[in-house]
Amino acid sequence: MLDLSDIPLVDNHCHPVVLDQRMDLVRFRSYFTEATDPSFAQRHVAESAYYLWLVRQATAFYGCPASEEALIAARNALESDALLARLFQAAHFAALIIDTGFPEGPHIYSPERMGELGHCRAAKLFRLEPLMQRLVMAYSDFDEMMAHYEQEVSTIRERGYCGFKSIVAYRTGLNILEWTKDEAVASFAQARAEGLRQGMLRINHKPLLDYLLHVAFHYASQQRLPVQFHTGYGDSDANLLLGNPLHLRNIMERDDYRGMAIVLLHESYPYAQLGAYLAAIYPHVYFDLSYCIPFVDKLEMLAFTRQALGVAPASKLVYSSDGIHLPEMHWAAALRGRSILAQVLQEMIDAEELDYEQARHMARLILHDNAWQLYGLDN
């Protein structure tokens, strides 16, 4: 079997972890499901294949008995900094590309601190929808709101971010359309009125959201910044039909947007072949292989990895964890990602599709080089 443990990882998409890592069992379990109903953490997570695997791996790592209770006790015995440092350094990261849009607040580690503890680079992604929500609530005049929005999205690189992230798939879907200014203004008025009435805004007003995204795409292309899109599997409030990456084809076809790389997150699960196909035909589209979230078992991970490598060039694939809240997620994805990629590449060697050096080269591209270049980490 190929051994890829020596290749340092660039985690193309992950999130901050919480500062207080002391957990009870139900809270710990709750982070390993996209379901929001509390019965999942109480009854169902512990019966899922991914979680059962995670508990065995983590208890072996901590050197304690292979039970949930022993795992919680072992990790609670460590200070949060020590816990994060131990896991991140064992994962052998070269860089973390961190979506700073969620979670937010004083209760999370900063990207800089995560990088320090992991002995690696930490680069930041700028999530678009929270900015939209903040500005719609702050300004009653559409043109004034737009002026502030353009000022922010046009200066992302100089403010220290390496790319954008959009969760439009969670809101109105990936079929991003073009709307007139008048349609966007009317949608803005509706969104603002709802936000003021409810005391907060969840922007799911399609004409406004699509209009603002097109503005961001213009500036992303101008600054040559990648844009990550959540695709496929997600929280229960996402319409999976509208998370199909094929809906983004009209964005991919636009010549004026070719300056922005498009990164399809979460291997577009369960649309893995379709996402890999898009990466295979559009020069600025990249396909993300996420080895923690979605929480699927090894057989599913092997399947989507085979599909990706069977369709797309290795130069268009990037590794990630989507790790969030718990450092075990970032670590476990590193463990599983290297192992699964090694197994699939070994199968390709055995099938005489690749030789050893070609397989190692592909692994290096996927685990490190592609993302390092994509996010300009040499700069």
User: What average pLDDT score do residues 152-157 get?
Assistant: 95
3-class secondary-structure state, position 64: coil
DSSP-assigned beta bridge partners for residue 99: 125
Residue 203 binned pLDDT confidence (cut-offs 50, 70, 90): very high
Give per-residue pLDDT as tens, 274-295.
Answer: 999 999 999 999 999 999 999 9
Amino acid sitting at position 26: V
Is the CB of residue 111 less than 8 Å from the CB of residue 100?
yes
Give per-residue pLDDT as tens, 329-370.
Answer: 999 999 999 999 999 999 999 999 999 999 999 999 999 999
Contacts of 87 (CB under 8 A, 6+ apart): 61, 327, 328, 330, 331
pLDDT of 238 strictly over 80: no
Q: What φ, ψ does residue 125 adopt, rounded to 5°?
A: -105, 145
Question: Average pLDDT, whole number, for the chain?
Answer: 96
| Max CA pair span of the chain | 63
Classify residue 154 by burial, with Cβ atoms within 10 Å: 0-12, 13-18, 19+: middle
Cα–Cα distance list, 249 to 150, 168, 252, 255, 284 (Å) = 25, 15, 5, 12, 12
Exposure on the CB side of residue 163, measured as CA atoms within 13 A: 26
User: What average pLDDT score do residues 80-104 get?
Assistant: 97
Classify residue 105 by burial, with Cβ atoms within 10 Å: 0-12, 13-18, 19+: exposed
Q: Single out the residue of 349, 364, 328, 232 nearest to residue 287, CA to CA.
A: 232
Residue 1's pLDDT is 79
pLDDT of 60 strictly over 80: yes
Residue 296 neighbours by CB distance under 10 Å: 20
Residue 237 binned pLDDT confidence (cut-offs 50, 70, 90): confident
pLDDT of 236 strictly over 80: no
C-alpha span between 287 and 356 (Å, rounded): 23
Residue 87's pLDDT is 98
- Could you give all domains of the chain from N- to C-terminal order, each with its CATH number? 9-21+78-127+158-186+210-374 (3.20.20.140)
List the end-to-end C-alpha distance of the chain, in Å, as a whole number.
35
Residue 235 binned pLDDT confidence (cut-offs 50, 70, 90): confident
Residue 234's pLDDT is 80
- 301-331 burial by CB neighbour count: b if 16+ within 10 A, else e? bbbbbbbbbebbebebbbbbbbbbbbbbbbb
Helix axes 68-76, 49-62, angle to 10 degrees: 50
Q: Single out the residue of 272, 277, 274 nearest to residue 289, CA to CA.
A: 272
Residue 30's pLDDT is 96
Contacts of 319 (CB under 8 A, 6+ apart): 9, 10, 11, 12, 288, 289, 291, 337, 341, 366, 367, 371
C-alpha span between 323 and 169 (Å, rounded): 19
Give per-residue pLDDT as tens, 111-151.
Answer: 999 999 999 999 999 999 999 999 999 999 999 999 999 99
Look up residue 71 and give its DSSP letter. H
The two structure tokens encoding residue 73: 């006790």
C-alpha span between 21 and 80 (Å, rounded): 5
Q: Single out the residue of 97, 2, 7 nearest to residue 365, CA to CA.
A: 7
The stretches of the chain forming alpha helices (DSSP H) are 25-30, 38-39, 49-62, 68-76, 80-91, 111-118, 128-138, 142-153, 168-171, 181-198, 206-223, 249-252, 272-281, 298-311, 327-350, 356-364, 370-374
Is the CB of residue 175 less than 8 Å from the CB of residue 210?
no
Q: Single out the residue of 127, 70, 65 nearest to residue 102, CA to CA.
A: 127
Residue 196's pLDDT is 97
Is the CB of residue 367 less than 8 Å from the CB of residue 9?
yes
C-alpha span between 149 and 181 (Å, rounded): 15
